[in-house]
Structure 1
Amino acid sequence: MLSAIRSHLLPVIKLYLLGLKVLLAQLFSRCFRLPVMPRQDGKVAIVTGGSRGIGYEVVRHMARLGAHVIIGGRNEQEGLAAVRKICEEYKEAKVEFMKLDLASLQSVRQFVQCFREQDLPLNILVNNAGVMLLPEGRTEDGFEQHFAVNYLGHFLLTWLLLDTLKNSGKCGHFSRVVNVSSSAHRVSEIRLNDLNSSQCYSAHAAYCHSKLAQLLFSSHLHQELQRGGFPLSSCAVDPGIVDTALYRHLWTPLCMALSVIARLLFWTPAQGAATILYSALSPDLEGENGGGYWANGRREMTTPPAFDPQLQLSLWETSLQLLGLQ
């Protein structure tokens, strides 16, 4: 009994203490301001979860710079509304919506097939979509929801698009994969024998777990690309604590209080998007300089497990097995 209570309460305490620490750091530090980025004419980008929040700001800015941006999302009505809004703001914008449900491996494969049929290059992939603090549940493929959406769906998407990304990059103009992670990874650990959180479910632990998995994947991918000499880099970005709908599954009284606090203390979606855009577009992060973990415009060190090469490899191989990609 005590063990079960500890398993549920400890992740909650750890995550909220970390959140308080990050929020205080945000309040007493200057938010990164995105420098002027070069034009992106001729480049193609995919942004998952680009219909609202941080993702929408990423799409909007890339479109303003001339990139052809594809929003991957599960809500068609919301996606098409985002496309219309951006095109009304920038008459020359090249933005489109394509259906993508990261909770469904079949949907991910269908999305990639539809993209390939357009015979386009792919210069930038921003794995931004995410869920947080969902009640316990499984996807149609049998995976825990945080693990499936935040990590495994993006793993499959990136894997299926790797050849296109590699072929679209060239020396001096690398393609880039940007994985939107979270500081929540700092209070987690990878349980390779229980990736689906079946032994003892905690929504807080499952969210943190999925974000650490995402960071491990991002780091291992970058190393593999470097070893292969491919014109493609991979990095992870912590956008900070941002006023978005991500927190809607919090305990209701806390969620109501948070909606007021968020307007006053959290960063705006545009501020949260700044480091993501910098990682995706900046000439300063060309080639080997593009890897790592970024927060508030700076490359940061993080917890030791995130840089454990054996853990990275084990998760990578396990993910390939789960997806039938061996």
Structure 2
Amino acid sequence: MLAILYLLLVIVVVAMVVGLYQKNTNIICKSKKRLDGKTAIVTGGTSGMGLRIAMDFADRGARVIVACPFVDEGATGRKLIVRKTGNEEVIFKLLDLSSNTSIRKFANDILTTEKRLDILINNAGVGTVDEFITKDGLNFIMQVNYFGTFLLTLLLLPLLKKSGSITEPARIVNTSSVLHNIGTVNFKVMNRLNHWYLIQLYGNSKLCLVLFARELTKRLKGTNVVCNCVDPGAVGTTIFNCSGKYYGAFVQFLFSVLFKTPWEGAQTAIYAALDKKAGLVSGEYFKNCRTGQAKQCAYDDNLAKELWEESVKLVKLCDDELEECFNKNL
């Protein structure tokens, strides 16, 4: 019994030391940049880190479009941002990243109604939820976390290209994860059900986002659009609710106390979207508001190109449509 008490004491002490270190090394974006006259889209912008990112942009004067697949959450998130910032230029739009139809409808709406798009924060994602194959024939986790983001980004490229300039490029920010380090890319089984451990599948999706940013950067050469990835760190968000209501709430609380709150986790994405130096690079991986290093295979150009080609097929983008994404002038 005494041994168990000592073990618990050691665990508590270690947790406190880790938490103290983490809290004292978390870097906050210090940019004072205003976003008046700019437009930003934040997917998953109605809860967690996305909500804090959207709130930050709205506070800087931006027109902010928050997107999520839930009407009640979207309306509530939009009202909260307006109330906290006083910025009425906050718009909620439905977007279900597990549906190509929804993504295309959203993108068409944006291209038709918006005059510009300066920042695209691809923040939305799901955790280790139950697997199933969507109507588009894709693994749900892979589609929400990667394939949906891939399709959405390409469809919005014409407006991003139109809005960017030499002095102020339009910015795309993909939210990756430290778990991309356990990710792998196997084209034969990337969408197969019950093949991967759920956490491995999550890591796969986050690795794909880094490879996507690398390949997209090559294809955007000569344009005024940059694309980077961010690792927000260990953040206490509702993504853990997929593990169960009470267990998820406990883990969320623990991560917020020991590692990062959603506001702290949002800082690197805000940095990548606003910092002057961050706007000078593309295809990079940011962590704790500075340039970091992704896993080695994330820099494999051949793998990135092959993933791109496979992704184009799986989201059903024909050659003419893909060419239009890059060449269309609005």
TM-score by length of 2: 0.87
Residues 140, 233 of structure 1: alpha-carbon distance in 2 compared, 3 angstrom cutoff: same
**What does residue range 147-162 of structure 1 map to in structure 2 within 5 Å?**
147-162=142-157
2:60 is equivalent to residue 65 of structure 1: yes
Q: Does the Cα contact within 8 Å between 1:197 and 1:206 map onto a contact in 2?
A: no
Root-mean-square deviation over aligned CA pairs = 1.9
2:312 is equivalent to residue 320 of structure 1: yes
Partner of 1:4: none
Residues 282, 259 of structure 1: alpha-carbon distance in 2 compared, 3 angstrom cutoff: closer
Residues 113, 183 of structure 1: alpha-carbon distance in 2 compared, 3 angstrom cutoff: same
How many Å separate the matches in 2 of 1:199 and 1:61?
39
Partner of 1:14: none
Residues 136, 89 of structure 1: alpha-carbon distance in 2 compared, 3 angstrom cutoff: closer
Q: Does the Cα contact within 8 Å between 2:54 and 2:64 map onto a contact in 1?
A: yes
2:305 is equivalent to residue 310 of structure 1: no
1:139 is displaced (CA, Å) by 1.4
2:241 is equivalent to residue 248 of structure 1: yes
Deviations along 1:216-247, one digit per CA (max 9) or x if unpaired, are 10111112212xx0000000001111110111
State the AA in 1 paired with 2:203. Answer: C
SS in 2 for 1:134: coil
State the AA in 2 paired with 1:124. Answer: I
Partner of 1:266: 259
Q: % of aligned pairs identical? A: 33
2:214 is equivalent to residue 219 of structure 1: yes
How many Å separate the matches in 1 of 2:181 and 2:75?
36
**What does residue range 265-284 of structure 1 map to in structure 2 within 5 Å?**
265-284=258-277
How many Å separate the matches in 2 of 1:29 and 1:321?
45
Q: Does the Cα contact within 8 Å between 1:239 and 1:296 map onto a contact in 2?
A: yes
How many Å separate the matches in 2 of 1:190 and 1:304?
13
How many Å separate the matches in 2 of 1:172 and 1:267?
33
- Structure with bigger gyration radius: 2
SS in 2 for 1:286: helix
How many Å separate the matches in 1 of 2:285 and 2:166?
22
Deviations along 1:60-102, one digit per CA (max 9) or x if unpaired, are 0000101101001101111111111121222234100000000
Q: Of the candidates 170, 175, 181, which is equivalent to residue 180 of structure 1?
A: 175
2:82 is equivalent to residue 87 of structure 1: yes
**What does residue range 1-326 of structure 1 map to in structure 2 within 5 Å?**
27=22, 30-198=25-193, 200-226=195-221, 229-250=222-243, 255=248, 257-287=250-280, 289-325=281-317, 326=319
SS in 1 for 2:106: helix
1:284 is displaced (CA, Å) by 2.0
1:131 is displaced (CA, Å) by 0.3
1:199 is displaced (CA, Å) by 6.7
Q: Does the Cα contact within 8 Å between 1:279 and 1:290 map onto a contact in 2?
A: no
SS in 2 for 1:186: helix
SS in 1 for 2:220: helix
SS in 2 for 1:55: helix
How many Å separate the matches in 2 of 1:26 and 1:157?
38
1:252 is displaced (CA, Å) by 7.0
Residues 240, 151 of structure 1: alpha-carbon distance in 2 compared, 3 angstrom cutoff: same
Q: Does the Cα contact within 8 Å between 2:66 and 2:91 map onto a contact in 1?
A: yes
State the AA in 2 paired with 1:264. Answer: V
Q: Does the Cα contact within 8 Å between 1:139 and 1:145 map onto a contact in 2?
A: yes
Deviations along 1:123-179, one digit per CA (max 9) or x if unpaired, are 100000000101121112121111100000000000101111111101111000000
Deviations along 1:223-275, one digit per CA (max 9) or x if unpaired, are 2212xx00000000011111101111226775464244234213111100111
Residues 284, 259 of structure 1: alpha-carbon distance in 2 compared, 3 angstrom cutoff: closer
How many Å separate the matches in 2 of 1:263 and 1:70?
26
Q: Does the Cα contact within 8 Å between 2:131 and 2:139 map onto a contact in 1?
A: yes
How many Å separate the matches in 1 of 2:251 and 2:194?
31
1:291 is displaced (CA, Å) by 3.6
How many Å separate the matches in 1 of 2:154 and 2:65?
18
How many Å separate the matches in 2 of 1:260 and 1:99?
29
State the AA in 1 paired with 2:25. Answer: R
SS in 2 for 1:126: strand
Partner of 2:7: none
State the AA in 1 paired with 2:297. Answer: P
Gaps of at least 5 residues in structure 1 are 1-19
Q: Does the Cα contact within 8 Å between 1:37 and 1:282 map onto a contact in 2?
A: no
